[in-house]
A and B are shown apart, each in its own frame.
Chain A
Amino acid sequence: MSVLRIHPEKCTGCLRCELACSYMQTGDFQPAKSVIRVSPFEGHTSYAPYTCTQCAEGWCMTACPVGAITINAVGAKDVLDDRCVGCKLCTIACPYGTMFYDPATRKAFKCNLCGGAPACAEACPTAAITYEDVTTEDWLGDFARERTERVLTGVQ
């Protein structure tokens, strides 16, 4: 299956992915409702987007007590709105912190790869997010590890 591949060194922190994601997912340009989230590293000297890995276990899916999380046609774990009751079990079961909850709708939501045409990848002006048929990986770990000196030593 294709997954979102993150190339953190290319990210400029422009947040277009968050805008595009929230628009695709909710119909509003509301980054607070984006399921891809850009994080700053090293005191805002660099940035990288972070989102669901579509992990093999699918902790969110197996945790759901009413079968409201399924696998969609492109292989992404996806929340069925009419089944989700908003119990939040998926938000504590997901060990990556990539389940979201909307207090307005009382539903969980997450990255569903936009059904095969991810808006974040399309919107990214530097191709820091690509949609590729590769095995999902820890795209940010090494990047972040190399950019921790200021945070950990307190040097600004």
Chain B
Amino acid sequence: MAARHLIIGGGTAGMNAIRTIREEESERSAITLVSAENPYSRMVLPYYLDRSIAESHVFTATGKVLADWGVTTHLGKRATTLDTKANVCTLEDGTTVAYDDCLIATGSSAVRAPVPGADGPGVHSFWTLDQARGVIAQIQPGSHVVMVGAGFIAFTILNSILALGAKLTIVEVAPRILPRMIDDIGAQLVEAWLKKHGVAIRTGAKLTRIDDLKRRRRLKMAAGGDLVADVVIMATGIRTNLDWLKGAGVTIKQGIVVDDHLRSSVPNVYAAGDVAEGRDLISQANAVHAIEPTAQEHGRVVGANMAGKDIRYRGSLIINIVEVCHLDVASFGAWDDAQAEAASGVKADRPAYRKLLWRGDRLTGAIILGPSSDIWTTNDVGMLKGLVQSGVSLGRWKAHLKKNPFDVKPAFIATKTTSALLPVTILGRPSKAPGETPVAV
């Protein structure tokens, strides 16, 4: 009998796993997808918000495509229990799905600040497609949007809100913006840049409640005066969707603990993406990396292993980039490692900042800020990722970069980073193009 693979979650990890199973398997298997939502990409929702793409553009696989791939689907239904002894998953409507192996890729959900009124009318999260639709329906030119939270997710929709002609105020309880993406100096530069571009920012600002004023909302602040908004967006963090696994017998710490093949403590149960606590490429310790690139790599590794290959995963690298008002902001790896040796530089004539961090003579983390019109920003973003990812020995270039943190390219080329990178692939073979997934015959 053909193997029965169960994929729980239709996000980036789940969809990459499905495609990779089809690419790698020697014998056609049965794949079942259980997903609370139709598969789409959260990454592109900001571009749907500003209407630069149609809603249809966000979907990563239509019903027809899933049928072509030979996937049995249970869409719009949540998995509620996983019996890892009987190898059966039960869905919220009572449907049961038996499997030989399964992938847990149930992702994360947005959480709201725990204040009265946070669930009231006119208060939105921006995480799912449904929530995006809710926000789109509310923002008009001239609307005053208050975004609660100044983290990465908030910043991904900042340009879109401004593009819609809305006035934006960001309130953040922490003393600074982007606390988990860049350091203090970088945050100051971004904050100054945004204020120059008309975004009001209040840091160290504690929201105490949200009152409904008929069509508008009043945000009561602990100090500094209240705010009145047409639309409130709560970008106050995400939480992994793991509650449903209570009693499943799968070891969970920060996430589902996985080995170097992304297997959980139950050998025929894999985890990938936001819910997985897997190896970090730099520290080699386990960590949850709730970012798109990790979900993608995890998903492909799981898919190959489910298809019978023996793919060991080297670990995921934290990489983040966001553009706000034509300023690129990116960070890599262990950019907040207090024990690392660090060097930084700010350009006086333009909003450009670099911070490089080393352990020994290997680059282990980096922060980069620069105008998105500046080709060197974009190219250096990639090369810094290459240096961190490959861990090449920088030798004498380390001292040079400490003095000249903007001179990345000669260091990258002369340390033969390209030679170190070229043999590396995630699956031990060249990647296939998105359209090359084998279809059912």
Q: Which residues of B contact A92 (CB under 8 A)?
A: 293, 319-321, 330, 332, 381-382, 385
Decide if A140 touches B425 in the complex (CB within 8 Å).
Answer: no
B430 & A58 in contact (Cβ 8 Å cutoff) = yes
B381 contacts which of A39, A56, A57, A97 (Cβ < 8 Å)? A97
Q: How many of B's residues come within 8 Å of A, CB to CB?
A: 65
Q: Is A127 an interface residue (CB 8 A)?
A: no
Measured CB to CB, the closest approach of chain A to B64, in angstroms, equals: 15
Stretch at the interface among A9-17, A112-120, A143-151: A143-151
**Chain B residue at minimal CB-CB distance from A108:** B378
Question: Is A57 a contact partner of B431 (Cβ separation < 8 A)?
Answer: yes
A119–B431 CA distance with the chains assembled, in angstroms: 26
A152-B386 CB under 8 A given contacts A62-B426, A92-B319: no
| The one of A53, A63, A86, A144 that contacts B414, using a Cβ cutoff of 8 Å | A144
**A53-71 interface with B by 8 A CB criterion:** 53, 55-58, 61-67, 69-71
Is there an interface contact between A152 and B326, defined as CB atoms closer than 8 Å? no
A7 vs B383: C-alpha distance when bound (angstroms): 21
Q: A131 interface residue, CB < 8 Å from B?
A: no
Known: A62-B296, A62-B426, A97-B379. A140 touches B413 (CB 8 A): yes
How far, in whole Å, are A94 and B417 apart by their CA atoms in the complex? 13
Asked if B53 is an interface residue, CB under 8 A from chain A, the answer is yes
Question: A84–B378 Cα gap in the complex (Å)?
Answer: 16
In the complex, are the beta carbons of B41 and A56 less than 8 A apart?
A: no
Asked if B230 is an interface residue, CB under 8 A from chain A, the answer is no
Is A41 positioned at the interface, with any CB of B under 8 Å from its CB?
Answer: yes
Residues of B contacting A64 with CB < 8 Å?
434
Which residue in B43, B389, B426 is a CB contact (below 8 Å) of A89?
B43
Q: Which B residues lie within 8 Å of A62 (CB)?
A: 296-297, 300, 426, 431
Quick check: A39 and B409 within 8 Å, CB to CB? yes
Measured CA separation A153–B390 after assembly (Å): 25
Given contacts A32-B375, A138-B419, contact A89 B397 (CB under 8 A): no
* Contact yes or no, A67 B386, CB < 8 A: no
Decide yes or no whether B47 CB sits under 8 A from chain A.
yes
- In contact, B47 and A148 (Cβ under 8 angstroms): no
Report whether B410 and A61 are in contact in the complex, using a CB–CB cutoff of 8 Å: no
Is the interface on chain A under 10, 10 to 19, 20 to 34, or 35 or more residues? Answer: 35 or more
A39 touching B410, Cβ below 8 Å: yes
Q: Is the CB of B414 within 8 A of A55?
A: no
Q: A66-B41, A97-B380 are in contact. Are A89 and B416 (CB under 8 A)?
A: no
Of A50, A87, A98, A137, which contacts B47 at CB under 8 A? A87
B440 contacts the other chain (CB 8 A): no
- Note all chain A residues with C-beta closer than 8 A to B408: 97
A17 to B: closest C-beta gap in Å: 15
Contact check: which of B300, B332, B381, B419 meets A91 at CB < 8 Å?
B381
Contact flags B294-333 to A (C-beta < 8 A → 1, else 0): 0011001000000000000000000111010010101010
Residue of A nearest to B418 (CB): A138
Given contacts A95-B390, A99-B382, A103-B372, 18 further A-B contacts (CB under 8 A): A37-B379, A53-B418, A53-B422, A57-B426, A62-B426, A65-B60, A65-B296, A66-B57, A66-B60, A92-B320, A93-B385, A95-B383, A98-B382, A103-B373, A106-B52, A138-B416, A147-B414, A152-B400
Q: Can you list 18 A-B pairs with a CB-CB distance of less than 8 A? A: A55-B421, A56-B429, A64-B434, A70-B433, A71-B432, A91-B381, A91-B382, A92-B330, A92-B332, A95-B383, A95-B417, A97-B409, A100-B375, A103-B373, A141-B413, A147-B414, A148-B414, A151-B400
Shortest Cβ-Cβ A-B pairs, 8 listed: A95-B386, A97-B382, A67-B434, A141-B416, A97-B383, A138-B418, A144-B414, A65-B43
